[in-house]
Chains A and B, each alone.
Chain A
Amino acid sequence: MDFKSVSKIIGINLKHHFLPHFILSLIIAFLTPIIFGTSSLNANESAQPLEMLVSLTGIVLITPIFLPEQNKNIRDFMRSKKIAYLAVCALRLLYSVICLAIIFGIFTGCMAYSECAVTFRHFVGGFSSALFLGALGFCLAGISGNAVIGYMSSMIYYIVNFALKEDLKNYYLFSMSTGSFHEKYWLIFCSIGLFWMTFIYVGIAEKYFR
């Protein structure tokens, strides 16, 4: 895949598939300061808006990577192309994760400007929760072949975090709000694992039974 093809694929996907999801994630990010206070917060308080609200942008941006191909016509069209379907999905995943990082970067920057005690750890911590939520949705959407399943699973997991804090242990999304950070490494590694597993599964499924 040459640079020209890559930029063309990214351009088309950004315009036709990514934009509505990106706008929704921006709406979430813009609503967060209205719902939460985001000025003069200490370290634990600063983690709350990042982990509890901005992290939802992960679901919105990463879950629908396979969404365009839910339309049978687009799926058949994609299969007829020279460039591998999974390579296109990998590109979509790449720019979605980059945009997610940008949203978190800007939001954390705004919080720092508003005299919140945020550091680089807050950026990584919030981003990892969002990445995990997105990866979970991405995985289940990829396996089931339906994005709604992905959204639903991520949303259920998000709700579960409010009720089962103790039971989730290393997979607790809001750990930074309670002053703990080591869970974030687990979330990042598991997200990478989920991405990897999904690509392998979708690759096999595309080849043999879809």
Chain B
Amino acid sequence: MLFFKECKKIIFSLVFGIYCIALFGVYFTQFANDCKNPMEKPVAGQADYGTIAKEVPEIMMPSAIEGLVNEYLSGEFSAYPYGFYKCVKLKEKDKKKLAEIITELSGISAETLENFDDYEPSGYITKEDGSFVYIDGNIPEINIPSTLTYEDFRELMRKADKIIGGGSKYSDENIVGNFSRIPKTYEDALAEYEQFCKEDKITGAYARLFCDYMGIVLSILPVFVAVFLAERDKKSSMEQLVYSRKISSAKLIFTRYISLVFTMMIPVCITALLAYAKVKSIYPDNAIDTLAILKTAVYWLIPNIMASSAVGMLVTEMISGLIAIFVQSAWWFASVFASSGKLTGSIKNFTFVMRHNALLGRDAFQKEWDIIIFNRIFFTVTSVLAIVLTAILYESKRRGVFNGFQVRVQNHRH
């Protein structure tokens, strides 16, 4: 049967071996490394339970305005528009626009901002003995107008973020995390722990962490396997032989695709079982959900494998394997680095590499549940459509009406 033949071909290929090594490598160096010790139950009376980001206007407004004034006076704005750090320096025209916003927010006039020469940045400095000390900087006095409502403040911050170029500390995504952090209480910490044990049944939380790590590599490696197999026919000059066979293009392409996705899921399922065993070993006495990791892996990771393989097959058939690798790598880069600034609660409708790099934070994940469902269905359906297109292109090649884009260029010349 063709399906088993294709599976055998994939499993015994060198590229699949490398794929498995990479997957197991990620499992052992990342996930298993995070599962060395169980999560401790919070104890009453601890000095620090960490902080949480919570939208509190009274905290956020003064600290965000101070941050903006500081950055304005330093002349440099930190931003992560594509996940990477970007030091933004504004043009004079934009600086003027931002000065107007700062005046509305802080009451500091544009002239004061322009002529303020004694600026000193605030922050931590290292003393001679190696200890850190926080120093208050020197900026003009801030008087937030009493007429400034919280809604107006957020709107002005959005405008400031737009002037900076997006991805700044003042964007909707970052402002709460950067300027509105409050200390966690014992009750908060205990509630989170209870949620981890009772609602997530422990493995639910580890399942998200497992998929977070695995999703990074499973969003790019399948393209190599798909391209390798598609190119193998060309390399061994088998294309013409396959073209002449009786089997329909749709059946051939879909069987190949299904066998690709199926074989690539095998090591994922093995690592999911290993992950379950690992979690069980560190929580021997707790009631845990046996299938949680496997279930999460299926709905979270299969669409990634499907999409990456589909890009590999489609673009190889359409142009070349090299371009397929380039396209998938570019997509992977854009997706991974776009979410690198915020590793939880940042899943959007079209986020390809979904991130949730935390054991806690079930609420943030549940809040995005509808988006996640749409997202995964979207990538599944798009992948299937891409394979339909691949089958059409393959059929056109078989009939001799299309031979990749290179031939089209030659035809135009004639």
With A39-B89, A151-B224: A159-B231 Cβ-Cβ less than 8 Å: no
Stretch at the interface among A7-15, A125-133, A141-149: A141-149
- Shortest CB-to-CB span from B206 to chain A, Å, is 18
Q: CB-defined interface of A140-170 with B at 8 Å, one 1/0 digit per residue?
A: 0000101111011101100110011001000
A163 to B212, CA, bound (A): 13
Return chain B residues, CB-CB under 8 Å to A156. Answer: 18, 22, 217, 221
Is there a chain A Cβ closer than 8 Å to B29's Cβ?
yes
Within 8 A of B (CB), among A150-201: 151-153, 155-156, 159-160, 163-164, 167
Q: Tell me the bound Cα distance from A53 to B86 in angstroms.
A: 14
- Determine chain B's interface SS by DSSP, over half rule: helix
Q: Is the CB of B29 within 8 A of A163?
A: yes
Contacts of A203 in B (CB 8 A): none
CB 8 Å contact bits of B268-290 with A (1 = contact, 0 = none): 00000000000000000000000
A residues in contact with B14, CB < 8 Å:
144, 146, 149
With A148-B224, A148-B227 already in contact, the answer to whether A35 and B82 are too (CB < 8 A) is yes
* A72 x B228 contact (CB < 8 A): no
CB distance from B30 to the nearest CB of A (A): 6
How many residues of A are counted as interface, with CB atoms below 8 angstroms from the partner's CB atoms?
Answer: 34
Across the interface, which residues of B come within 8 angstroms of A151, CB to CB?
A: 224, 322, 325
B76 within 8 A of A: yes
Q: Tell me, in angstroms, the Cα distance from A5 to B220 when the chains sit together.
A: 41
- B307 nearest CB across to chain A (Å): 17
**Complex CA–CA separation, A155 to B14 (angstroms):** 16
B228 touches A40 (CB 8 A): no
Assembly CA distance A42 to B19 (angstroms)? 38
Q: Mark B82-99, 1 if CB is under 8 A from A, else 0.
A: 111111110000000000
Closest 8 CB pairs of A and B: A37-B86, A152-B224, A148-B228, A35-B82, A37-B87, A36-B84, A156-B22, A148-B227
B interface residues (Cβ-Cβ under 8 A, vs A)? 14-15, 18-19, 22, 25-26, 29-30, 76, 79, 81-89, 216-217, 220-221, 224, 227-228, 231, 234-237, 321-322, 325-326, 329, 337
A-B contact pairs, 24 of them (CB 8 A): A20-B322, A35-B81, A36-B85, A36-B86, A37-B86, A37-B88, A39-B87, A39-B89, A41-B87, A45-B85, A60-B326, A64-B322, A71-B235, A72-B236, A146-B228, A147-B322, A148-B325, A151-B224, A151-B325, A152-B15, A152-B19, A155-B329, A156-B217, A159-B217
